[in-house]
């Protein structure tokens, strides 16, 4: 919903806004603004933020287990750093106005800034993870997690290592990440740029056209072959014969072993040096994916092209049933009011994680800046948090997530002319709980009536109350009570004030089924 509000602003505000104003207002002027977020963005609050933070925490822990160190880079880069790295998607980059003689753009992903960071700091080997926002001037589909401002969670390995060893571990991280977030029904579509480029070469595609044809093939996950073939022949200058030959290959998919065996026996492809190198690397990879136990998640799919220009080897993306567009997507798109509308009705979630190998990007930056050649191979994976979030939100248990972490609400009950409300005493108890790492709250009022305190406790979602009774507290006693409608008639138990931290911790541990809290159950899909 868009709300318009009118603000009364002083004259000096408008004088600063426009020094050339013909007539200054005498007292106040009206400024109207639309209370909405920009297209493709949204505010995040309450339970949604709790879930997002849990996703970040889960992935951060995973990255640390694999030896990752975290970095942060500016949200904008020099325009020349991002230029020419994203193929046809370069049109989606947000360019900024010239500020102080530098042309800058908002970062499109976290990969190119990472390669720039490695080249700039002469790093020879690093495992890094980075969780941050990126920006794309794309058509949004908000309910599907396709936005213009969104988080990516990246893990990359840079350095010279034995062939395909880092690639195998990255695929394991991809599987561990998604299963750790309760996503079990997914498939990793995998291909190899050298094999794909080799296929294009033997089919008659000129080297200068390879990237253009790759971007066309990459649309096969949401576009029929006939439409892709038409793009190749009518828009990108390929012959019918070339397109048909490509079609015979890019329709192949199956297990790593199946497709590797099929391609290895192909007499035409076996004459191509690039394809042979790619097949040798896949042969090595199969040993490692088997060791990591992730083979069953992988589909060797020759239609996957990953349009980004910087990929040089293995490429992959994780998809689920929700990734594909709905049935009749093209008709639904025609019915949409305009291109400015949200595209949720006719697009799918898309890939929920993706990545690949990019061996030349660091060296490209080193050479372009006049430094000596610095060939640092890299491979990585990026998790799309908003798209993963949209899948997690579909789980019914999300309704049980409370927006605060409050575990205990500290109350005080009493009466009479001498009743002070025990506000300092409630503060003292809350402080004890905070020092023990227990999330606690209390009402910010000296004499808060019981109903107001219970309403505040209910709003916080706290499962426990520590109650300071007027007489009981003077005797060194506190009352510990479960909160919630089902416990309305339960007066709780009387405990020694000195034992409050110990007993509260014990009680909290017993509240969750199998010791797992609601957020963890939702995130892991338990």
> Residue 148 and residue 135: Cα distance in Å, rounded?
5
Crossing angle of helices 240-250 and 193-202, rounded to 10°? 150
Q: CA of 374: how far to CAs of 86, 122, 220, 364, in Å?
A: 22, 8, 36, 8
Architecture of the domain made up of 408-512: 3-Layer(aba) Sandwich (3.40)
Going by the annotation, the residues of the binding site are 109-111, 136, 152, 156, 306, 310-311
The 3-class SS string of 34-102 reads EECCCCCCCCCCHHHHHHHHHHHHHHHHHHHHCCCEECCCCCEEEHHHHCCCCHHHHHHCCECCCECCE
Cα-to-chain-centroid distance, residue 306: 18
CA–chain centroid gap for 363, Å, is: 28
Provide the 8-state DSSP code for 146. Answer: B
Q: Give DSSP secondary structure letters for 404-446.
A: S---EEEEEE--STT----HHHHHHHHHHHHHTT--EEE-SST
What CA–CA distance (Å, rounded) separates 436 from 395? 33
pLDDT in tens, 375-385: 899 999 999 99
Spatial contact of 298 and 255, defined as CB atoms under 8 Å apart: yes
Distance of CA 292 to the CA centre of its chain: 24
H/E/C letters for each residue in 173-195? HHHHHHHHCCCCCCEEEEEEHHH
Which phi-psi region, left, alpha or beta, contains residue 411 (left: φ > 0; alpha: ψ -120 to 50)? beta
Task: Give span(s): CATH 3.30.930.10, the chain.
Answer: 46-329+342-395
DSSP string, 188-231: EEEEEHHHHHHHHHHTT--GGGHHHHHHHHGGGGTS-HHHHHHI
Q: Among 3, 60, 61, 62, which residue's Cα sits nearest to residue 34?
A: 3
The yes or no reply on domain 46-329+342-395 and CATH 3.90.79.10 is no
* pLDDT given for residue 340 in this prediction: 54
Strands 149-158 and 378-384: what pairing? antiparallel
Among 244, 298, 304, 302, smallest CA distance to 275 is for: 302
Report the alpha-carbon distance of residue 377 to residue 362 in Å, rounded.
Answer: 8
Question: Are residues 64 and 153 in contact, defined by beta-carbon separation less than 8 angstroms?
Answer: no
Kindly state the tokens that stand for 154: 């990246």
- Residue 199 makes CB contacts below 8 A (sequence gap 6+) with 246, 249, 250, 269, 272, 275, 302
DSSP letters spanning 482-499: E-SGGGTT---EEEEGGG
C-alpha closest to that of 158 among 194, 113, 107: 113
Q: Cβ of 490: how many Cβ atoms within 10 Å? A: 11
Dist CA 96 CA 503 (whole Å): 57
- Give the position of tokens 């506000």: 423
CA distance 170 to 165: 9
Q: What is this structure's pTM?
A: 0.83
Among 475, 484, 479, 483, residue whose Cα is nearest residue 500: 479
Identify the DSSP state of 303: T
Q: Coil, strand, or helix at residue 398?
A: helix
d(CA 44, CA 68): 28
| Interhelix angle 423-435/500-511, nearest 10 degrees | 60
> Counting every residue, how long is the chain?
526
Q: Provide the annotated binding site for L-histidine.
A: 109-111, 136, 152, 156, 306, 310-311
Low-confidence ranges of the chain (pLDDT < 50): 1-2, 5-22
Closest CA to 186 of 324, 339, 34: 324
Determine the Cα–Cα distance for residues 129 and 113; give it in Å rounded to an integer: 12
Q: Residues 447, 450, 451, 456: is their CA dihedral positive or negative?
A: positive
Which 3 state secondary structure label does DSSP give 157? strand
The proportion of the chain whose per-residue pLDDT surpasses 90, expressed as a percent, equals 60
β partners of residue 381: 155, 355
Give 339-366 pLDDT, tens digit per residue.
556 666 656 667 899 999 999 999 999 9
**Predicted local confidence at residue 192, as pLDDT:** 96
What's residue 40's pLDDT?
87
């Amino acid at each position: 919903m868009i709300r318009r509000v009118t603000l009364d602003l002083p004259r000096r505000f408008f004088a600063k806004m426009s020094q050339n104003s013909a007539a200054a207002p005498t007292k106040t002027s009206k400024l109207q603004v639309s209370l909405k977020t920009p297209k493709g963005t949204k505010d995040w609050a309450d339970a949604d933020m709790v879930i997002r933070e849990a996703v970040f925490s889960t992935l951060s822990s995973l990255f640390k287990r694999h030896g990752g160190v975290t970095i942060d880079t500016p949200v904008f880069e020099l325009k020349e750093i991002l230029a020419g790295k994203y193929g046809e998607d370069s049109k989606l980059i947000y360019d900024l106005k010239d500020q102080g003689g530098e042309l800058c753009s908002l970062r499109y992903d976290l990969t190119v800034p990472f390669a720039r960071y490695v080249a700039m700091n002469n790093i020879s080997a690093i495992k890094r993870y980075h969780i941050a926002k990126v920006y794309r001037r794309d058509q949004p589909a908000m309910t599907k997690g396709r936005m213009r401002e969104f988080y990516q969670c990246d893990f990359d390995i840079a350095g010279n290592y034995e062939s395909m060893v880092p690639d195998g571990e990255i695929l394991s991280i991809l599987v561990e990440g998604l299963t750790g977030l309760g996503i079990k029904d997914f498939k990793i579509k995998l291909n190899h740029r050298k094999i794909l480029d080799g296929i294009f070469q033997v089919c008659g595609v000129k080297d200068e056209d390879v990237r253009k044809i790759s971007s066309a093939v990459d649309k096969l996950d949401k576009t029929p072959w006939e439409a892709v073939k038409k793009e190749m022949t009518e828009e990108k200058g390929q012959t019918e014969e070339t397109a048909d030959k490509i079609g015979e290959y890019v329709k192949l998919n199956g297990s790593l072993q199946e497709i590797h065996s099929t391609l290895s026996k192909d007499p035409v492809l076996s004459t191509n040096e690039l394809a042979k190198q790619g097949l040798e690397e896949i042969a090595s990879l199969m040993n490692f994916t088997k060791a990591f136990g992730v083979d069953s998640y992988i589909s060797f799919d020759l239609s996957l092209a990953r349009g980004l220009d910087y990929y040089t080897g293995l490429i992959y993306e994780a998809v689920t049933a929700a990734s594909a567009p709905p049935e009749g997507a093209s008709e639904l798109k025609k019915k949409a009011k305009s291109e400015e509308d949200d595209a949720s009705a006719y697009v799918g979630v898309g890939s929920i994680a993706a990545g690949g190998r990019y061996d030349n990007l660091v060296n490209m930056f080193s050479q372009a800046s006049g430094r000596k050649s610095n060939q640092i191979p890299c491979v990585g994976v990026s998790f799309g948090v908003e798209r993963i979030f949209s899948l997690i939100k579909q789980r019914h248990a999300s309704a049980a997530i409370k927006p605060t972490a409050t575990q205990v609400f500290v109350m005080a009950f009493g009466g009479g002319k001498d009743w002070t409300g025990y506000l300092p005493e409630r503060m003292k108890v809350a402080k004890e709980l905070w020092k023990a790492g227990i999330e606690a709250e209390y009402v910010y009022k000296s004499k808060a009536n019981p109903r107001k305190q219970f309403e505040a406790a209910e709003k916080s979602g706290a499962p426990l109350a520590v109650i300071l009774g007027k007489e009981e507290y003077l005797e060194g006693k506190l009352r510990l009570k479960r909160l919630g409608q089902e416990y309305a008639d339960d007066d709780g138990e009387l405990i020694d004030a000195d034992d409050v931290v110990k007993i509260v911790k014990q009680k909290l541990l017993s509240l969750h089924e199998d010791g797992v809290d609601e957020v963890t159950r939702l995130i892991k899909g338990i």
